[in-house]
Amino acid sequence: MGAVPSRLSWRVATVRAVQPETQRVLSLVLDVPGWDGHQPGQHIDVRLTAADGYQAQRSYSISSAPEDPAITITVERLDDGEVSPYLADVLRPGDGLELRGPIGGWFTWTTQDGGPLLLVAGGSGLAPLMAMLRHRAARRSTVPVRLLYSSRGFDDIIYRAELDRLVSHDPDLAVVHTLTRSQPPGWTGYARRIDGAMLAAVAWAPEARPLAMVCGPTPMVEAVADALVALGHDPGRIRTERFGPTGG
């Protein structure tokens, strides 16, 4: 009997499907041998090795629910990235991809953790929060959830159709969008970066003690966390995950 790979052992996954999400974002559905499951919010490391032996490694949040048979990562293509252009432009179904994981235990949420749950995301920072929403839907949970999601424009909203579908079937889920750079004709939603006033309007009162999960670019995450504390929310109930502009 062969050794069972640990979560920190490198293994080769097989690409099952490539799913476009927006013009610059796609999801890779992966079959991973020996995968023992994950918690919503965890991530994997991906490693690429060039013919000359040079290696590049990046971390990607898992966007699929643990109930799904395969795992999914959602990748934003960065023109100057070492890894994301290969994942976005080269990989095809049937190809192999070296990875290890799942990794991380602080920025996670399952339905057993309860709520109310406040999710705040910027751009592709929605990926680990989407794993939480998909997990919640798979469990048919009624934990109250509010998602505040910042995108550059309407066409940059990742998982837009799926979010609309989830909201339409779930009275305990609310999704609020803000578009920071461009808005379509007739747009009546927010049209600025997330700030304290927006959080005060969307979030529960501090007395409700919501658990806040915040993910996105570092400046946004820090601003949101500071604003929530200024509004009176318990810092111990605010969990953050951040990424930099060169993370792909």
Provide the percentage of residues in the chain whose pLDDT is more than 90. 90
Average the pLDDT over 81-90 and give the result.
92
Q: What is the mean pLDDT of residues 191-212?
A: 97
For residue 84, name the pLDDT band (cuts at 50, 70, 90). Answer: very high
Task: Read off the pTM.
Answer: 0.94
Q: What pLDDT is recorded for position 2?
A: 46
Q: Where are the domains of the chain?
A: 11-103, 111-243
11-103 architecture in CATH? Answer: Beta Barrel (2.40)
Amino acid in the structure at residue 171: P
Pairwise CA distance, residues 105 & 92, whole Å: 31
Distance CA 104, CA 7 (A): 11
Q: Does domain 111-243 have CATH number 1.10.240.10?
A: no
Predicted local confidence at residue 244, as pLDDT: 60
Q: What is the 3-state secondary structure (H, E, C) of 72-130?
A: EEEEECCCCCCCHHHHHHCCCCCCEEEEEEEECCCCCCCHHHCCCEEEEEEHHHHHHHH
pLDDT confidence of residue 248:
38
Query: What is the pairing mode between strands 117-122 and 211-217?
Result: parallel
CA distances from 154 to 28, 109, 121, 180 (A): 22, 28, 15, 10
Lookup result for tokens 């949101």: 224
Which residues 6+ apart lie within 8 Å of 140 measured at CB? none
Measured CA distances, 95 to 7, 24, 72, 88, 224 (Å)? 21, 21, 15, 13, 39
The CA angle 216-29-86, to the nearest 5 degrees, is 70
Question: Mind listing the pLDDT tens digit for each residue in 45-83?
Answer: 999 998 899 999 999 999 999 999 999 999 999 988 899
Q: pLDDT tens-digit profile of 171-200?
A: 999 999 999 999 999 999 999 999 999 999
Q: Give 98: exposed, middle or buried? Use CB within 10 Å, 0-12, 13-18, 19+.
A: middle
